[in-house]
């Protein structure tokens, strides 16, 4: 048996058939010969669910995790796969790089064993922000090196993709040309290692959804994709902008989307129209995973919130 994309065990015959399809669809862009990502996604509603470690950041012991709340019981990220499987009956996870205490080979191997023991799969790895459109070439070079490092970590833990944040720069307008040059290098390395690079609509300026789409279109590499977050664009805009943003992102998405049913906006909370968001995802023929990223701002309980978000998502996927 062979494992493809960190998810599905396939027979040798299925694998060879997949290779044939993969080779037949290897042309991308104008005269460019690039292999395409060929993940096989599950079709069952619960099997398409994942949970990110972000809502549980207050509990996670890691020197890189500045959101740890020492008043709460703590645990290592290696406990995360088993906890999610036990409490939520969800067997796909997307941890954050800052939640790892180490990226040494032994630690990453222990994490992967914990994933296997939980009969789970890593479906995305979230990493920090980098100055991909900095006017300083040395900073853009550092961003490329950072992306390559975490692509290697993704390979080590069996993740088919990383989520690369884009770091905002004070008094610098996001630049499509500079950003696409940096991200093209990261995506090219991802294609060599069979790891997709996802960009999320998070920061309202540096990660504006339409800026992200423009960068993806300019790079024109199947290993650079959008990661639609169903609620993030509500933080600075209205519901109609959010719907247009999510639609634009899903048109360039492949394997990962984040689900929220509310976000902090202004001094209050804005509800996400999940029925509309899932209709957009369906209309775009999106086949990938939906990762629960409950908004815990304001002291909300991540366990109860995630459980409710799973119930809502299953209703719309059924």
Q: Would you say how long the chain is, in residues?
A: 318
Identify the CA nearest to 232 among candidates 223, 245, 218, 219.
245
Beta bridge partners of 225: 198
DSSP state of 160: S
pLDDT digits (tens, 9 = 90+) for 178-233: 999 999 999 999 999 999 999 999 999 999 999 999 999 999 999 999 999 999 99
- CA 44 and chain centroid, separation: 20
Q: For 38-317, which CATH superfamily applies?
A: Divalent-metal-dependent TIM barrel enzymes (3.20.20.150)
On average, the pLDDT of the chain sits at 90
Identify the CA nearest to 199 among candidates 162, 150, 151, 153.
162
pLDDT digits (tens, 9 = 90+) for 33-92: 358 898 999 999 999 999 999 999 999 999 999 999 999 999 999 999 999 999 999 999
At residue 266, the pLDDT reads: 77
Q: Indicate if the pLDDT at residue 29 is higher than 70.
A: no
pLDDT digits (tens, 9 = 90+) for 75-110: 999 999 999 999 999 999 999 999 999 999 999 999
Identify the CA nearest to 310 among candidates 90, 17, 43, 41.
90
As a whole number, mean pLDDT of residues 298-304 equals: 92
Q: Give me the residue label for tokens 């770091």.
A: 167
Separation in Å, CA 128 to CA 78, 146, 147, 237: 19, 9, 9, 24
Are 89 and 60 contacting, i.e. CB atoms less than 8 angstroms apart? no
Model confidence pTM above 0.75: yes
Give buried/exposed letters for 118-152 (b at 16+ CB in 10 A, else e).
bebbbbbbbbebbbbbbeeeebbeebbebbbebbe
- CA 45 and chain centroid, separation: 18
């Amino acid at each position: 048996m062979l494992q493809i994309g960190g998810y599905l065990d396939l027979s040798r015959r299925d694998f060879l058939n997949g290779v044939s399809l993969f080779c037949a669809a290897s042309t991308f862009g104008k005269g460019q010969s690039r292999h395409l990502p060929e993940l096989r996604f599950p079709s069952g509603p619960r099997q398409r669910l994942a949970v990110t470690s972000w809502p549980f950041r207050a509990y996670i012991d890691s020197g890189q995790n500045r959101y740890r709340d020492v008043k709460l019981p703590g645990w290592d990220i290696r406990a995360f796969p088993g906890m999610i499987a036990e409490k939520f009956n969800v067997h796909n996870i997307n941890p954050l790089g800052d939640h790892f205490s180490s990226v040494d080979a032994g630690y990453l191997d222990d994490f992967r064993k914990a994933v296997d023991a939980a009969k789970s799969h890593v479906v995305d790895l979230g990493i920090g922000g980098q100055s991909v459109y900095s006017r300083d070439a040395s900073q853009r070079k550092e961003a490329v090196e950072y992306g390559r490092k975490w692509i290697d970590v993704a390979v080590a833990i069996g993740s088919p993709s990383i989520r690369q944040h884009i770091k905002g720069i004070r008094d610098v307008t996001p630049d499509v040309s500079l950003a696409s040059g940096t991200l093209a290098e990261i995506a090219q390395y991802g294609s060599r290692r069979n790891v997709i690079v996802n960009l999320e609509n998070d920061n309202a300026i540096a990660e504006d959804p339409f800026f992200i789409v423009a960068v993806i279109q300019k790079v024109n590499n199947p290993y650079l994709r959008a990661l639609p977050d169903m609620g993030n664009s509500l933080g600075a805009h209205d519901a109609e902008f959010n719907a247009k943003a999510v639609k634009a992102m899903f048109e360039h998405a492949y394997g990962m989307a984040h689900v929220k049913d509310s976000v902090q906006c202004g001094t209050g909370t804005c509800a996400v129209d999940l029925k509309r968001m899932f209709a957009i995802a369906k209309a775009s023929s999106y086949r990938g995973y939906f990762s629960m990223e409950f908004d815990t701002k304001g002291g909300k309980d991540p366990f109860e919130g995630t459980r409710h978000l799973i119930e809502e998502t299953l209703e719309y996927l059924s």
